[in-house]
Structure 1
Amino acid sequence: MKPKYIIYPLLILLIGYLIYNKFYSASAKEKKIGPASAKGGKKLNKPVPVNVMLVKDTAFSNAIDITGTVNANEQVDLRSETAGNVTGIYFKEGSHVQKGQLLVTVYNKDQVASLKSIQVQIKLAEQTEYRNRILLQKEAVSKEEYDTSLSSLNVFRSQADLIRAQIAKTEVRAPFSGIIGLRNISPGGYLSPTSSIATLVNMDPAKITFSVPEKYLPLIKNGSKIHFNLESSRDNFVGTVYAIEPNLDLTSRSITIRAKAPNPKGLLRAGSFAKINLALEQIPKTILVPTECVIPDIKSSKVFVVSNGVAASRNVKTDVRTATKIQIVDGLNPGDSLIVSGIIQLRPKVPLKIVKIIK
């Protein structure tokens, strides 16, 4: 008998034994199944250590952090209504001026001379009108003669008023009280209506302009308080909303709002960048939970709670978010045991080991 007829069957038997030993023997099955319990052969699950927070109602102040700009209460670029050489400058740069205070005069000697001439004619016309009025009472002159003298007097008076108005245009006065800036003119220089004299600013109170998203509009009204601070000051400032733009910005879908803040010390400067905290509403009773324990889903959000020693998922409805917490408006009740740690290891019905209870 040839050796190959003996060797080949032995090799086939050896290969078959190796295959059986690897995939179908008792030790192979044990490796597949893993450690099993003595009774049912089920896989053993180790409890997941977690921290638990007892859900309770709490008061919540709904506020948002936004940015804005400090503006002047009133601001104007001072200009002359008439052209001419500057004959007088009556203010100091950076000083406080009162409403109606004379700041600059432009050459007006021609108008002043014309006014004096008209005033002389007015006196003569007044005497003529008075004399004719007396004579009219005595019927010594006709009514037409008296009317002519009265008409002449009124014409001269109108001419005088016109010249006074022209003279007033040669004087630049402060339209309101405030701080006047650096001047752009010098005595004797030519001043035209397009030339800027200086900027007059009133900063008490200061105006703060800012924008908020459309969804917050129902929560904002005149009288709402804002708290803000500046890069240039360590003080905290308080303002009051007094005006709301009626139209939304089409690009950002936001609404522009203005507030006023007292500024007696002059710490608020126009153009400053303001960091604003806007209080929207006070909620006396609501549920707030740490943001990290809420798991977002496609249709809703969910959390895990402790139920009979195991994890149970709950669908929740959220609303306002803060830096660390989120408001739950549906899905949780006071007294629930909310799991706040080990979230990534949790699945429904996973056994739990409570390490710490947060009240």
Structure 2
Amino acid sequence: MFKRLFIAILLLGLIGGGIVWFKYFRDGMIAQFMAGRVPPPVPVTAMTIEPATWEPGIDAIGTAISAQGVDLAIESGGLVRSIGFVANDRVTGGQTLLQIDDDSERASLAAAEAALAVAVADAGRAQTLTERGVGAANALESAEAQVASARAQVAQVQTALDSKRLTAPFDGVIGIPRVEVGQYVVPGTVYATLQDLDQMYVDFSVPEQQLGLLELGRAVSVSTEVGSFGTEGRITGIEPQVDPNSRLARVRAEVGNPAGRLLPGQFLRVRVALPSEDGVIAVPQTAIVSSLYGNYTYVLRQGEGDALTVEQVFVTPGRRSGAMIEVTAGLAAGDRIVTSGQNRLSNGAAVTVDTSVDLAAPAGE
């Protein structure tokens, strides 16, 4: 009995020891394999930093406003007799746009002109009698007063008649008619909009910290979100106060509008050009990685032989312009940095530069 128990214990010990030895043997072999395994270089794109001419500017969101633009309204109520325009007509100042029924005013004008003629005749007779010495002076004064009253009545009726004929106040493009022939309209009814599209204003706002960079006459460029249309202009006005709620100041620029492609109320991207600066270190925005510890980029270093490695370098980013960003600290001219492929890199990793990518080509080419 004791002999069998001893043999069983011995067999269990041998089996357990074999398992433990195999585990340590396996772990050792894996460690030895991994220690001898060199990861392949990571393909990246790279560029050499060179001092560049920086074109700084102030970017803002603006709204297009016509140099002249009004909603045309009815001056005197009545029935619409005729409409002298169609949508998008180019009209000239003084052109008749709308005619309201004016038969009553024309009749009143004829009566007022007849009364004026009678008053003038009476005044002439009173003048003749007075010159002959047979007429009273107060009779002449009364006759002249009647003439003045009749003239005023004619002017009043003529004004009422003119208010029935609505004309364009300036040259421009007129919008969609909002009334119909035969419709009864009341004073104040808007019947169309008229916009001068030859010159446009752009209103935008800038933070109070950037007000010192603005001045009248400074060049601006604007572009639309639709159709990739752009045009140039100059700042014509800076609001002499800052909004206490938003801390923004309103700025107005006048821009050209070739072919009338800008429309009032349109959304625009505005860039105010500032004086250029030479010798600025700027890199593509894709070259900088942001983390909880700061902003950094990878700089290529020469390893053993022809091998390349990367070093993680923390940088201080500055202003942005398009796809480029200024670096004020951390990099110098001549440094060769990684521009893409950073997600697979770590400090000291081996890399190989992929020269098949043309960094100068626009995206999508």
Q: Same fold (TM over 0.5)?
A: yes
Distance 1:134 1:343, change over 3 A: same
Measure the CA separation in 2 of the matches of 1:298 and 1:215.
30
Q: Percent identity?
A: 21
Deviation at 1:78, TM superposition (A): 3.3
CA distance in 2, matches of 1:124, 1:202: 50
Q: Which amino acid aligns with 2:220?
A: K
The amino acid that maps onto 1:336 is D
Secondary structure at the aligned position of 2:54 is classed as: strand
1:152-171 equivalence runs, <5 A = 154-171=148-165
One-letter identity of the residue aligned with 1:84: G
Q: Which residue of 1 aligns with 2:306?
A: none
Distance, in Å, in 2 between the alignment partners of 1:191 and 1:314 is 74
Contact 2:310 2:351 in 1 (8 A): no
TM-score relative to the length of structure 1: 0.69
- CA contact 1:63–1:277 (8 Å) conserved in 2: no
How is 1:26-45 mapped onto 2 (pairs within 5 angstroms)? 27=25, 30-31=28-29, 33-34=31-32
Give the Å deviation of 1:67: 7.2
Q: Secondary structure at the match of 1:34?
A: helix
State the secondary structure of the residue aligned to 2:55: strand
Aligned-partner Cα distance in 1 for 2:175–2:11: 107
Deviation at 1:157, TM superposition (A): 4.3
**Residue 287 (structure 1) aligned to one of 271, 281, 285:** 281
Aligned residue pairs: how many?
341
Q: Which residue of 1 aligns with 2:223?
A: 228
Coordinate RMSD, CA, aligned: 4.8
Cα distance in 1 for residues equivalent to 2:202 and 2:233: 8
For 2:55, the equivalent position in structure 1 comes to 61
Shift of 1:79: 3.4
One-letter amino acid of the counterpart of residue 91, structure 1: G
AA of the residue aligned to 1:111? S
Which of the residues 97, 106, 117 maps onto 2:101? 106
Match of 2:363 in 1: none
Gaps of 5+ in 2: 304-308, 361-365
2:296 aligned with 1:296: no
Residues 133 and 153 (structure 1 numbering): CA distance in 2 closer, same or farther, change over 3 Å? farther
Report deviation, 1:116.
0.4
Q: 72, 86, 92: which is aligned to 1:93?
A: 86
Superposition pairs for residues 231-246 of structure 1, below 5 Å?
Answer: 231=226, 236-242=230-236
TM-aligned CA deviation for residue 21 of structure 1 = 2.6
Tell me how far 1:109 sits from its aligned partner.
1.9
Q: For residue 164 of structure 1, what is the amino acid of its counterpart?
A: Q
- Structure 1 residues 98 and 52 mapped into 2: Cα distance closer, same or farther (>3 Å)? closer
Q: Are the equivalent residues in 1 in contact too, given 2:199–2:256 (CA < 8 A)?
A: yes
Task: State the alpha-carbon separation in 2 of the partners of residues 341 and 199 from structure 1.
Answer: 53
Q: Is contact 1:52–1:354 with CA below 8 Å preserved after alignment?
A: no
Distance 1:96 1:292 in 2: 49
For the 8 Å contact 1:205–1:263, the answer to whether it is kept is: yes
Specify every segment of 5 or more residues in structure 1 that has no aligned partner in the other structure, as ranges.
37-41
- Tell whether the 8 Å contact from 2:93 to 2:168 is kept in structure 1 after alignment: yes
Name the CA shift for 1:84/1:2 in 2 (closer, same or farther; >3 Å). closer
CA drift of 1:202 comes to 2.6
- How far apart are the structure 2 equivalents of 1:175 and 1:110? 27
Q: Output the CA distance in 1 between the equivalents of 2:242 and 2:208.
A: 14
Conserved 8 A contact 2:78-2:100: no
Instruction: Say whether 1:18 aligns with 2:18.
Output: yes
1:115 alignment counterpart: 112
Q: Distance in 2 between matches of 1:179 and 1:28?
A: 86
**333 and 129 in structure 1: CA distance in 2 versus 1, 3 angstrom threshold:** farther
- 1:329 corresponds in structure 2 to 328
Determine the C-alpha separation between the residues in 2 that align with 1:230 and 1:331: 36
8 A Cα contact 1:45 1:351, kept in partner: no
Letter in 2 for 1:288: A
Q: 1:306 to 1:249 in 2, by over 3 A?
A: same
Classify 1:236/1:53 alpha carbon distance in 2 versus 1 (closer, same or farther; 3 Å). closer
SS of aligned partner of 1:228: strand
Question: Counterpart amino acid of 2:313?
Answer: R
Residue identity in the other structure for 1:177: D
Q: Distance in 1 between matches of 2:26 and 2:183?
A: 106
For 2:10, the aligned partner's letter is: L
C-alpha separation in 1, matches of 2:247 and 2:187? 40
With over 3 angstroms needed to count, the CA separation of the structure-2 counterparts of 1:295 and 1:148, relative to structure 1, is same
Deviates more, 1:284-293 or 1:188-197: 188-197
Letter of the 1:317 counterpart: T
* Matched AA of 1:93: V
Deviation at 1:296, TM superposition (A): 0.8
Q: Distance in 1 between matches of 2:215 and 2:312?
A: 40
Find the aligned partners of 1:287 and 1:123 in 2 and give their Cα distance: 88
